[in-house]
Structure 1
Amino acid sequence: MIDLATALLITAAFLRTTLALDACPNGEKIYTGASGMSYKLCPNSDFLGETVQIRGNVNSLEECAAMCDGDKNCYRGVYDHDYRYCHIKAQGAMRWEPSQQFDVIQQNFKDIARCPGQETSYSSNGKNYKICRSSDLRGGTLQIQWNVNSLNDCADRCARDGACVHALWDATYKACHFKGSQETNTIIWSLNKQFDTIRLDLKFPRATKGEWSDLVWLPLIPVAGYVVPEFPSSSRLLVFSAYKPFEFSGPMKQTVFGDYNFNTGQTSLRTIANTQHDMFCPGISSLQDGRILIQGGSDASVTSFYNPSTNEFTRGPDLGKARGYQSSVTTSDNKIFTIGGAWSGAREGKDGEVYDPKSNTWTPLPGAKVGPMLTQDNAGIWREDNHAWLFAWRNGSVFQAGPSKAQNWYGTAGQGSQVGAGIRDDNHAMCGIFAMYEPGKIFSSGGSTSYSDVASLTRAHITTIDKPYQPAKVERMPDMAFPRGYANAVVLPDGTVFITGGQRWVKGFQDTDSVVYPELFNPYTKQWRTLAPEAIPRNYHSISILLADGRVFSGGGGLCWTGGDCDPHADHPNGQIFSPPYLFNSDGSVATRPVISSVSARSIKVGGSFTINMSVSALNLKFVLVRMGSVTHSVNTDQRRIPLTNVSRSGPNYTVSLPNDSGVLIPGMYYLFVSSANGTPSLARTMQIML
């Protein structure tokens, strides 16, 4: 028989077990101290554990946080809002529980791209270093030396060691951590009061290497995204994750979206549930009227339309086959073709089908066989029909350039068709990157022979297509400097292809073997250039996309399944914006952009003409249309670049005649860029190309 006292003790122990927290339930806030350090504030919760100091007459949670910020050894604190005490907690293990009396303060070990405090310089042995207090370099440790009594001593030791590139000094334990190069090691800069970082001052002149912004923090992990078509110019990026901001599961009938205004920096979060569609891992394509069709994914049969004119989502007709990891593409006759998608639904290779917006129906295409485009994956069929490299071409045809080594033509009329187009390479290139930089000219590179757990590839190719259903011409290009799987590619207004992220050895949900140095490929000179590094690895579940000002957003990576044992450090709810070298003069100053004053029409038919009025009359301007992109899982079938060469000039007015071929100029929403003789693009105007 258990007595009452014992029963109460058991009940109390049970409640303490069940009430433990692993996340703030009460509206977490961020506090930034005078040091630049960031802290998470969680109201109505408590840390149970050793307290090293108690301070009285503290009037607010923020005042307590400021006290913690001023104490080098304070990583966590608790504010007693009933009695106005500030508890500085020890560094040992703590139990986090709900409480009506206390509020919790804990250091935010967030990743950074800039030193939050005053950065200083130090030179030793002919090497120049940047010193940032209260920050960490996570990863890439070569060795640890002990009994190092000062930061300068740590820097001196690193400078004398041939392998040490960066270093980390731990004042508490008198330890100096030698770090390697980011070219061969995954090293992430983050906030941490325990350490001070000593970083070799590597120079990346923005005139030749470009420049990255500070981190843009988002309310979710951007696994997919697209630019919202707006007139006269686009300013927003919609990104989405899954049914939750930081994890995915099975079919959960809702999707979390983030709305990021890249002009103002404002972000917001919304949950889309009215279409009953978890859109994680879908196909994405945009129609002539600007609507974005998102199909399949976790809710594998469902489709959803996003309408940019209303900023709302509506349910579309269900797919004929349930799909996830498929690719889709908008055709020359404004239909949407999709193929593959064995990740969700039935685990089998999936033939094509086509959506017609006129009838609002999907039609199966039994002749558009998926078999010829399958890879050979060490995980089997559910990885073999994924992420096809699709390009719409003339007369409703679709060219499949990869990731299989076999290339194919698909017809979308009638029952559909498939015709082999040749062999691109000896290897399959799953999760490789691809872009049409000129009509009929397809760049591709990277990827891996299987979806995961293999080495990535460096190979690059240009595939040229002309007449539908005829063999393609493939030319091997120089290899990339870095092997990359799970990378992303963006075609820029000048026709170069900008490549971000990826891993040397593909392994989802991890940052191991990351490549943080982007590369720029010039298809006209057939040369590569390595650019300034990103601050954060961008691997599996990352995106990159061209913005209306000619910059590139790169973000995301991570997003584990619910209950999965993934590395939380590989979750990246953030991005950076890259300014390519064409935005700078040779001396590093900001280049002057051409300015489009007006366009005579914003909706133009294929083969039509329109007039552009420039603010200043100039010679040697270049005109180009770049179709607005949508991206997930290294796939962006919406983007393509169309140079406009039929141009006549009268003073500041330029009349442009469009190509009269909807297989080249696919209907939909485009950026109109006007570039200077030096290649600096204007702010793009939004143009709608119609049949």
Structure 2
Amino acid sequence: MLRALGSALLTLIVLCAAPSARAQTQPDTLLVNRNSGMCVEIPRGNAEPGIWAVQYPCKDLREQRWTLTRAKSDYVIRNAASGRCLEIIDASTQDGHSVNQAVCDGSRKQVFRAEPIESWVRLVTVGGLCVDLRDASIDDGGLLIQRPCGGASSQKWTLYGRAQPSAWSSKISLPLVPVAAATLRNGKILVWSAYDRFAYGGDQGKTYSALYDPATNRSTERLVSSTGHDMFCPGTATLPDGRILVNGGSSSAKTSIYDPATDVWTTGAPMNVPRGYQGDTVLGTGEVLTIGGSWSGGEGGKLGEIWSPARGWRTLPGVPAEALAAKNDPGGIYRSDNHMWLFGSSFGYAFHAGPGVDMNWIRTTGGGAIKSAGPRGDDVYSMNGNVVMYDAGKLLKLGGAPAYELVRAVDGVYSIDFAEGPFARVKVAKQRPMAFARAFVNSVVLPTGDVVVIGGQNYAQLFSDYRGVYIPEIWRMRTGTFERLAAMTIPRNYHSVATLMLDGRVWVGGGGLCGDCPTNHPDAQILTPPYLLNADGSPAVRPAITTTPATAGYGARVSVTTDREVASFAMIRLNAVTHSVNNDQRRISIPIEATRGTTYTLRLPSDRGVLLPGDWMLFAMTKAGVPSIAKIVRVQ
């Protein structure tokens, strides 16, 4: 079945629908090849007949946009820039014959049939062959030809309909490459790089950081040397009191803590096991679990540890990282215990979702223990993929690659439901794939439960803009389908970040940190998602939360007043992200228990493993899903 892109696109591409006597058109459609992740275009929109159709990275350029006109089950495909139509010259049935453009004349040689194949379509030519890429090319300028139809990925196409209303801000210059970022309760964005603004290497005992203020659209830089900590490639966690904990990295045993209330960095207790590239998560107790990290501090032996404000770090001898690491990483343990996907849960457990294919429960009490949660279901090792909690105990796993670098990324998407806890079966379900395979990808959950997927590469290559994915996608929670958003102009690949702002927009930045190289991106842009815009692109009218408590307890009834009628509420925890890992990011829908005018009584969850202690963004939403600006509620 095809990716549903709204009722209009369904009408266009689902071939089993009843044919219409009147032609139907779908403008601004992209033809995305599954094998290469690239788009069909007419170079520079050249209107000369006979020009070959080729592929280039998808940037939503006019020469990459096509109007598909449907008559019965067939399509005429017209380029928006050149005004010409794709055709097979002379209606050839020759294997390897090119796909060209010509003056649109409605002849049979310009008619293509779209056949469903799994989650894509094959474009069948008049001679009964399929549109393919010469030599299954994954390179810029690869030529479209026709070949005998089969199951090759290079014959699978996504007909990606018009972008949803969305917009990018102008580029925001930063003093450094933001390799890590955290949204703070005051609405500012904390970012940092390494000992250098634009490079990393070794333990230099200092870190460049900056604080971006959306109110002024400016950032202020600070060199943090007081903690003696080079905070490149660490674990990160947003503590219950709003502070940001940073552990390990280039200074592999150190811990530093940033307090947004005082704007001060302080030294935390050192870890017992030095590490970098590990995974962290906050637990229901307010403690922090860290595991893995053979990138620094020596290879192997990266036992789990628990941090608490009173005791510092204690080891979990029953939680060896080797038991959680992927078994088939070509880089061995140096890579396989990196970037673990960890999520605090109920009953003193944390849930481990990958990147390896085997999921696990981790008991965090006593000396700790590991209990299998079964295979994830996709059977694909997904290093540098992404996982986000879009509702209580429900994860969306996106993309990744079977090695850290120099391999093709995957486009697979799976939902993982561990809401019933460590004593029940974890439910895994395959979702429709993304249109673009992505490694080094970031994803951000919105108040609606939809997930914005940003950046990454369809071929994992460190410190490179090559094969970057410029078109974000939004996964719709209610339908399990993807839609495309406005294209970026700056690639966001390795060492990029994305985080939700208090106003419901998405802050995206970084990429690079490679010294004197052309792929450093010391800048950011802000994405305005579809729910903040009307169909014509004008700003949607937003509700506002006028009163809410500053703190709340578990199972509490909370009274919230808005300036107009709303339909739903959700909470999203403040969080920190680096290297595509944002384990503390989680969204929870909050039921309305009673309504009186525009005053609503909300019931918070009583389970600390669901509603982790700390600062949460509370959003009110209209029936159409337009969110308010968030109010911060501290759960304690």
Pick the TM interval, shorter chain: 0.7 to 0.9
Partner in structure 2 of residue 69 of structure 1: none
1:526 equivalent among 442, 456, 480:
480
Partner in structure 2 of residue 163 of structure 1: 53
Q: Matched residue of 2:615: which SS?
A: strand
The aligned amino acid for 1:369 is: P
Cα separation, 2, equivalents of 1:612 and 1:159:
63
Shift of 1:162: 4.3
CA contact (8 A) 1:288 1:668 kept: yes
Do structure 1's residue 307 and structure 2's residue 259 form an aligned pair?
yes
Alignment of 1:181-220 (within 5 A): 208-220=164-176
Shift of 1:323: 0.7
1:677 equivalent among 620, 623, 629:
623
Partner in structure 1 of residue 389 of structure 2: 436
Q: How many residues align?
A: 503
Shift of 1:464: 0.8
String of CA shifts for 1:96-141, please: whole Å, max 9, x gaps.
xxxxxxxxxxxxxxxxxxxxxxxxxxxxxxx99xxxxxxxxxx999
Shift of 1:430: 0.5
Partner in structure 2 of residue 588 of structure 1: 537
Shift of 1:349: 4.5
Partner in structure 2 of residue 496 of structure 1: 450
Partner in structure 2 of residue 625 of structure 1: 571
Partner in structure 1 of residue 429 of structure 2: 475
2:322 equivalent among 371, 386, 391:
371
Do structure 1's residue 455 and structure 2's residue 403 form an aligned pair?
no
Shift of 1:524: 2.4
Partner in structure 2 of residue 228 of structure 1: 184
The aligned amino acid for 1:612 is: V
CA contact (8 A) 1:224 1:240 kept: yes
Partner in structure 1 of residue 563 of structure 2: 615
1:569 equivalent among 508, 518, 528:
518
Q: Matched residue of 2:459: which SS?
A: coil
Cα separation, 2, equivalents of 1:514 and 1:678:
33
String of CA shifts for 1:443-484, please: whole Å, max 9, x gaps.
101001111111101111111111225431111111111110
CA contact (8 A) 1:297 1:324 kept: yes
CA contact (8 A) 1:186 1:512 kept: no
Cα separation, 1, equivalents of 2:48 and 2:174:
36
Shift of 1:369: 2.3
The structure showing larger relative contact order (alpha-carbon pairs under 8 Å, at least 6 residues apart) is: 2
Q: Matched residue of 1:401: which SS?
A: strand
String of CA shifts for 1:546-580, please: whole Å, max 9, x gaps.
111111011110002x6xxx7x2211111111111
Shift of 1:605: 1.4
Cα separation, 1, equivalents of 2:538 and 2:41:
38
The aligned amino acid for 1:683 is: I
String of CA shifts for 1:507-528, please: whole Å, max 9, x gaps.
1001111111111112321111
TM-score, normalised via structure 1 length: 0.69
Pick closer, same or farther for the CA change 1:184–1:492 going to 2, 3 Å: farther
Partner in structure 2 of residue 122 of structure 1: none
Q: Matched residue of 1:422: which SS?
A: strand
Do structure 1's residue 689 and structure 2's residue 635 form an aligned pair?
yes
CA contact (8 A) 2:492 2:509 kept: yes
Pick closer, same or farther for the CA change 1:501–1:349 going to 2, 3 Å: farther
Partner in structure 1 of residue 399 of structure 2: 446
**RMSD value, Cα:** 2.6
CA contact (8 A) 1:543 1:631 kept: yes
Cα separation, 1, equivalents of 2:191 and 2:497:
9
Pick closer, same or farther for the CA change 1:290–1:442 going to 2, 3 Å: same
The aligned amino acid for 2:460 is: V
Partner in structure 2 of residue 347 of structure 1: 299
**Unaligned regions of 5+ residues in structure 1, if any?**
1-126, 129-138, 145-153, 169-179, 188-202
Cα separation, 2, equivalents of 1:341 and 1:158:
56
Cα separation, 2, equivalents of 1:354 and 1:670:
23
String of CA shifts for 1:247-278, please: whole Å, max 9, x gaps.
01111111101111123201111111100001
The aligned amino acid for 2:387 is: F
CA contact (8 A) 1:349 1:385 kept: no
String of CA shifts for 1:576-619, please: whole Å, max 9, x gaps.
111111111223221000011121x2011121222212123x1x
Pick closer, same or farther for the CA change 1:537–1:158 going to 2, 3 Å: farther
The aligned amino acid for 1:606 is: Y
The aligned amino acid for 2:543 is: P
Partner in structure 2 of residue 427 of structure 1: 380
Q: Matched residue of 2:407: which SS?
A: coil
Q: Matched residue of 1:634: which SS?
A: coil
Q: Matched residue of 2:323: which SS?
A: helix
The aligned amino acid for 1:647 is: E
Q: Matched residue of 2:634: which SS?
A: strand
Shift of 1:622: 0.9
Shift of 1:186: 8.1
Cα separation, 1, equivalents of 2:62 and 2:559:
57
Larger radius of gyration: 1
Partner in structure 2 of residue 510 of structure 1: 464
Q: Matched residue of 1:247: which SS?
A: coil
Shift of 1:346: 1.1
Cα separation, 2, equivalents of 1:478 and 1:650:
40
CA contact (8 A) 1:326 1:338 kept: yes
The aligned amino acid for 1:585 is: N
CA contact (8 A) 1:205 1:588 kept: no
Pick closer, same or farther for the CA change 1:587–1:408 going to 2, 3 Å: same
The aligned amino acid for 1:633 is: H
Shift of 1:157: 6.3
CA contact (8 A) 1:421 1:469 kept: no
String of CA shifts for 1:384-416, please: whole Å, max 9, x gaps.
100011111002210001101000000110001
Cα separation, 2, equivalents of 1:572 and 1:476:
34
CA contact (8 A) 1:186 1:514 kept: no
Do structure 1's residue 330 and structure 2's residue 287 form an aligned pair?
no
1:634 equivalent among 572, 580, 584:
580
Shift of 1:685: 0.7
Pick closer, same or farther for the CA change 1:435–1:186 going to 2, 3 Å: farther
2:207 equivalent among 241, 255, 263:
255
Q: Matched residue of 1:450: which SS?
A: coil
Cα separation, 2, equivalents of 1:534 and 1:481:
16
Cα separation, 1, equivalents of 2:497 and 2:177:
10
Partner in structure 1 of residue 550 of structure 2: 602
Q: Matched residue of 2:569: which SS?
A: strand
Pick closer, same or farther for the CA change 1:142–1:494 going to 2, 3 Å: closer
**Unaligned regions of 5+ residues in structure 2, if any?**
1-26, 29-37, 64-132, 142-159
Cα separation, 2, equivalents of 1:681 and 1:469:
36
TM-score, normalised via structure 2 length: 0.75
Shift of 1:379: 1.7
Cα separation, 2, equivalents of 1:160 and 1:536:
33
Q: Matched residue of 1:534: which SS?
A: coil
Cα separation, 2, equivalents of 1:456 and 1:167:
27
CA contact (8 A) 2:42 2:53 kept: no
The aligned amino acid for 1:363 is: R
Cα separation, 1, equivalents of 2:138 and 2:410:
16
The aligned amino acid for 2:222 is: R
CA contact (8 A) 1:492 1:550 kept: yes
Shift of 1:211: 1.1
The aligned amino acid for 1:475 is: A
Cα separation, 2, equivalents of 1:419 and 1:167:
52
Cα separation, 2, equivalents of 1:548 and 1:652:
22
